[in-house]
Each structure stands twice: as C-alpha cells, then as structure tokens.
Chain A
Amino acid sequence: MRWILFIGALIGSSICSREKFFGDQVFRINVRNGDEISKLSQLVNSNNLKLNVWKSPSTFNRPVDVLVPSVSLQPVKSFLTSQGLEYEVTIEDLQTLLDNEDEEMRQNEGQERSSNNFNYGAYHSLEAIYHEMDNIASDFPDLASRVKIGHSFENRPMYVLKFSTEEGVPRPAIWLNAGIHSREWISQATAIWTARKIASDYQRDPAITSILEKMDIFLLPVANPDGYVYTQTQNRLWRKTRSLNPGSPCFGADPNRNWNASFAGKGASDDPCSEVYHGPHANSEVEVKSVVDFIQKHGNFKCFIDLHSYSQLMMYPYGYTAKKAPDAEELDKLARRAAKALASVSGTEYQVGPTCTTVYPASGSSIDWAYDNGIKFAFTLELRDTGTYGFLLPANQIIPTAEETWLGLKTIMEHVRDNLY
C-alpha cells in the first residue's frame, strides 16, 4: 500500500505537462553497464517519445523505471529488444493505478489532512494561511492556540501559533520566525507545514513530544503580512515592509535590519529606496516591535530561529561584526549537526557559519538582537535553493524542503531541550 503512495508522490513531483495516463505503462529496465546506460539515454532523450524517467540508476546493475506513454509503447519495446536491453512492465495502466490510489487516499483521511484540504504543497494567500492556523488550533485544542501578537503597518493581524502542553507558567520557549522578507515564499510555506507537523507529531514522535513536555514553541509563519500580500498582488519580488517613508517615494524598511542590534551599522542603508533600508530607528517597524515586545514580556525564550531563502545556509551570530560570538563554537557544532540531519533526507547541502562571513555583514538583524538579549540558540536558516530558481522556488519543492528542514529544526530544538540554562 505504501508503495502505491510512493509512486503517487513521484508522479506529483515529476510529471508536469499531462494530466491523464490511460494506457501508459511503467517499464523497469535493467542496465548492466555504461554502454547500456548510453543506449537508454539515447532512447529517453529523444523528444518525440516523451518518456519520463522515474528512477535513474546510481550505479550499474540497478534498474531504471521509465514511464512510457501509450503511443510510444511499440517503438520503445522495439528499441529495447533490438538493443538487447532487459525490461519488465511493472505498471500496466498508470491511470487505473492512480484512480485506485485516489479512492484509497480519500478513504484514509488521517489527522495529517485538514478538513478543508489545505494543500501543503502549494503557495497560499495570507487569508488561507491564517485560516489554516485557526484550523490547526481547532484540530489540536489541548496543544495549539492562535495568538494575536500585534498588527502590521496596514493593520493586518500578526498571528502566532503557540504550542504548549502546560498553561499558566511561561516555560522556556522556542521562537520560530518566518516570512520576514515577503518574497521568500518558501519560508512561509515551510512554516505552515511545520505548524501542522508539530501538532500532528506530538505524542507520536518521541523527539517532539519530549521537547514539548519541557518547552513551549511559538511559530510566526508570516512576520511581514503587508509585504506578503504585496508580493501576491503587485510585485512578486517585494522584500520589505510597506510602511510610509515621509518625503520619499519609496516604501518600507527591511525588517531584518530594523532590530536593536548595532542598528544602522554595517550592511544596512539609510536610503528609504534601498532593499536594506534600516528604517528611521530601531523597532520603527511595527511588525518588528510586536515580536520584540512579546518576547521581552515573556522573558523566557531560549531559542530563536529565523527562516529565509535562498542560499542553503545555516548561520549564527553575528552579522553586525566579524568578532566571534562567545558561544560561537557551541553554535557552530550544533549547526553542523543540524545541517547533517537536514542533508540526510534528500542530500541538500547547507553551508554553516557566522552571518557576517558566511553571507555578508548585516546589522540590525533578528538573531543578533535575540542573541544579545540572552537567547543563546539563535540561528538564521536560508532555505532552498542556491540560485537556480531563487525566490521563485517551484511549489513542488515545498514539501521536500519542509521535510528536510524539519530534521534540522528538531536537532536544534533537542539540543536546546537538553541544554537549558
């Protein structure tokens, strides 16, 4: 049964242009040497056959799975036979298989699927994300609640999901920040997936269960709601907030240069038209101030993780100086372990290091503020990819990204749990 779902997942990720697969078959072809691989490449790369490779070989003597459309069955069979390539037909009619699978999935509606079918493998509007946060809170009332921590410049609510197994006491807590730069859509998408994951895995996965038994988790999926709406309606590549800059035709400040950590230092600009404009003063952006006020009032945060894209980096303080942070060694070791855990899922490689020398000097950043305010475990993650799609990461990479990132996040959270101070 799981095999069927696996195939279904492959289909979802690899086939883009056609929708129905009546009569299409999957061939499992045995390639024994380099010569056979090149013959197969020849076949596969010929455009008019429209073949689709599902599983390519990593070494010889491993089979290749190829989806062959019904119109190409004859020519492919002839080719394989004439070239002496061994094959078997593993799926005789893909459409039948898919229809059966659809039926099964509908019947197996588990807790992972929300009742209004929020598709975690797609990008969503702000309203949809907020609605899903509300759903998660209703689906898991003893664990999750949606909390309003403030509002944006254009008066949109700022919602966090609070995950807590014990009310009343402000336990040591973890802050997961996402979407502070609105164009980095994979950040918000990963965050909402992570929200559902935390809720679903509590009392199923020992790691997250033990974390939640000791600590609270606060998750802010859209730290810059105005910017996010702007990327959906006006300019996909908008980064900053949408605050007004008096006397300037340009809007917004870079919310990740607006924190009170060497504010207006290196790597930020005093020009309102710049993408890294720090704003008129620290915490001038209400979106930033809301988070700062909440965290300070709570007083017991131990970990702050900020999700961004792109570049595949895992970084720790400082950004505002090249000086080593006092805990740099511990943070470096932890980040390396987290990056390794992340890579174990799909081989995605992250580079690790302090912000200033790993990417560039940047003052007024969230994690520098957090660190200088007693939150030792402060990390910035730059998610996929490394520039091929950049900000415009295809939706079919959302779930793979979220899944691998989750392992990295868990590694960090487990360490925090075991090293509370």
Chain B
Amino acid sequence: MQPRRPPPPAPGSGPWGPRPAAPLIALLLLLVPVVAAAESESAEDRGQPQDAGLQRRLLQQAARAALHFFNFRAGSPSALRVLAQVQKGRAWINPKEGCKVDVVFSTERYNLESLLQEGEGHLGKCSARVLFKNQKPRPAVNVTCTRLIEKKKRQQEDYLLYKQMKQLKNPLEIVSIPDNHGHIDPSLRPIWDLAFLGSSYVMWEMTTQFSRYYLAQLTSVRQWKTNDDTIDFDYTVLLHELSTQEIIPCRIHLVWYPGKPLKVKYHCQELQTPEEASGTEEGSAVAPTELSNF
C-alpha cells in the first residue's frame, strides 16, 4: 500500500520564497521567528531536537490544512491529494496573533487504485502560505500546486464517478465505509471519494495549529433526489482529531456537479471540550457556503 518515496531532503534552512517587497518587511518583522514551543519550560529545555520537532509539526500541520483547502477548492473527487513529504518551510510564531507558515510539500493521489504511481510524474508539488490565527479555526490558506492529473482525464473520471453516483439506488442502505476491517467495496468507492471531498472542507475549517483531523469512517449515507442534475448528498462521517484523540461525528450535506464549485453545509458534534485548545467552536455553517468569494 505504501509507495516507495525518495529519501527526504534535509530540512529546509532559511526562509522560503522570494524576498518580500519593502512595505511588507515592517509587517514581517513583527512576526519573530521563535524556536521554543509555547508549552516549554525554562531556557535549558530549548535544544535542537525540540526546535526541529516543533518546526516539523507546524510545517506538517500547515501542509495538511493547505491540502484540505486545495482538495475542497478543486472540487474533484477523482483528483484528491494526500500529503507525501514536507520538503521545506519556515514557521513564525507570534504569541499574540498566531502562526504563519510557508511550506513546500509533495503530494500523491488519494485514489488508491491509481496505478503506475512510481516516477517523478506522479508526485505533485505544492507551495503554501498558511496563517493559523491563535487557536481559532479556519486558517487562511494560499496554495498553489503543480498539476498531477491531466485536466481532460480528471474531467472524464469525475464524470464517470458522477454517473456511478446517479445510478445508485435511493435510499442507500450503507452501514459503514470502510467496513470495520478497512475494506471498501469497489462499487462503493465513488461514495467514499465524494464524502472525502466534502469532509475536506470541514477538516480545513476545523484545523488549527494544534488540531489535526482525519477522516476515520463514513457511517451513514443518504442521497437525495434533486430536480436538476446535481448530486445532492447527505451523510455522516466520523472525524478523528489527533491531539485529543476524539472521534467527532459530523453531518455533512453537499451538492456537486462535475466542474462546478462544491457547496457544503455541515454540523459537527463536539462532545468534549479539548483540554489544550480552549474556545473550540462547533463548526456549523447555517447557509450553504458558496465558492464565489474565493
């Protein structure tokens, strides 16, 4: 399952990106590069491994947030990407404002049936600037990625997936995807991919510099009929948040048509206020979120 990856390059030294324009330098000087963790103790605790560890964690956090956002914006269930390797980056922590991260990372296709994965052509590359506002969700993301899949092919695969979804009988009697043994029936794969796409929006919104989300399981699915040709998809997922280890059920409603922006509405049940991050809000968007403002 694990494709071979080339050994990671040495962690990036020095800032990434072009020299900032003069007016921005003043702004940047406000964000002081910090090497100690927010939760560390005395000066003697600061040492190399801790700095590297913190930087690495923040870079990975930023890369993940950027990828969730990217996947959502691309709106293509057959072109989903996952993080392969963080290649370089830099994080600035401002205790009052939050955390700014510039990161460059490689990605691979989420679609696990994707064949011929080896070789340079099949690892995408992204660069992103992510702003985590102090423990508040909805990080600001600016991300650019190289094209991983040819546009025409992506459109074809999306359309195929669309047709497969349209052909599913309604209401669906799905219990869970994957099943408890991790198996996803190939015929149910389109549902999973579409669910992952919608969940990407939710996971992006909920990610902070401390919390990291994964899609654990899809537990119920309903597809509604619509008058137009869109896929109107209502489902529940279980998200896993790593730092608190909590499982968060989220009800997600998405409306999708190949090539059109994705519309997502969701409501997550926060059962437990995490000890570390105070002020965690219930993610609940009342009105459908349009893509027009992106």
Contacts and interface: CB of A to CB of B under 8 A. Distances in A.
Given A41-B115, A56-B115, A353-B53, A17 B245 contact: no
A308 B257 CA distance: 40
A151 interface: no
Interface string A302-343: 000000000100000000011110001000100000000000
A239 interface: yes
Contacts of A357: 37, 49-50, 53-54, 57
A266 B37 CA distance: 14
Contacts of B54: 357
Contacts of B37: 322, 357
A392 B182 CA distance: 4
Given A47-B160, A269-B275, A41 B216 contact: no
A349 interface: yes
B261 interface: no
B115 A358 contact: no
A360 B242 contact: yes
B246 A390 contact: no
B271 A273 contact: yes
Contact of A394 (B3, B183, B276): B183
Nearest to A58: B118
A129 to B, nearest CB: 15
B158 to A, nearest CB: 13
A322 B118 contact: no
Contact of B39 (A269, A322, A354): A322
B98 interface: no
B115 A236 contact: no
Contacts of B53: 353-354, 357-358
Interface in A14-60: 16-17, 34, 37, 40-41, 44-45, 47, 53, 56-59
Interface stretch (A163-171, A292-300, A380-388): A380-388
B186 A395 contact: no
Given A273-B272, A322-B41, A346 B2 contact: yes
A391 B4 contact: no
A347 B186 contact: no
B25 interface: no
A259 to B, nearest CB: 16
Given A274-B272, A360-B243, A400-B1, A324 B47 contact: yes
B235 interface: no
B278 to A, nearest CB: 13
A347 B4 contact: yes
A123 interface: yes
A80 interface: no
A400 to B, nearest CB: 7
Nearest to B112: A388
A339 B32 CA distance: 35
A222 interface: no
Interface in B152-181: 153, 160, 176, 178, 180-181
B82 A388 contact: yes
A322 B182 contact: no
A385 B45 CA distance: 31
Contacts of A47: 160
B216 A385 contact: no
B182 A395 contact: yes
B5 interface: yes
A361 interface: yes
B49 A37 contact: no
A56 B116 contact: yes
Contact of B216 (A268, A390, A400): A390
A384 B1 CA distance: 10
A392 B275 contact: no
A397 interface: yes
Nearest to A254: B245
B186 A237 contact: no
A243 interface: no
A151 B81 CA distance: 45
Contacts of B183: 16, 394-395
Interface string A343-364: 0001111010110011111000
B41 A56 contact: no
B91 interface: no
Top 8 A-B residue pairs of the complex, sorted by shortest distance between their CB atoms: A357-B53, A394-B182, A275-B245, A347-B4, A392-B182, A387-B214, A53-B115, A236-B180
Interface of A: 16-17, 34, 37, 40-41, 44-45, 47, 53, 56-59, 64, 122-123, 231-232, 236-237, 239, 254, 266-269, 271, 273-276, 311, 321-324, 328, 332, 346-349, 351, 353-354, 357-361, 384-397, 400
6 contacts: A34-B121, A232-B180, A237-B240, A357-B53, A392-B216, A393-B182
Given A351-B56, A387-B82, A395-B181, 9 more contacts: A44-B115, A44-B116, A56-B116, A237-B216, A276-B275, A385-B2, A389-B178, A390-B240, A391-B216
Interface of B: 1-5, 8, 37, 39-41, 45, 47, 49-50, 53-54, 56-57, 82-83, 110, 112, 115-119, 121, 153, 160, 176, 178, 180-183, 185-186, 214-217, 238, 240, 242-247, 271-272, 275-276
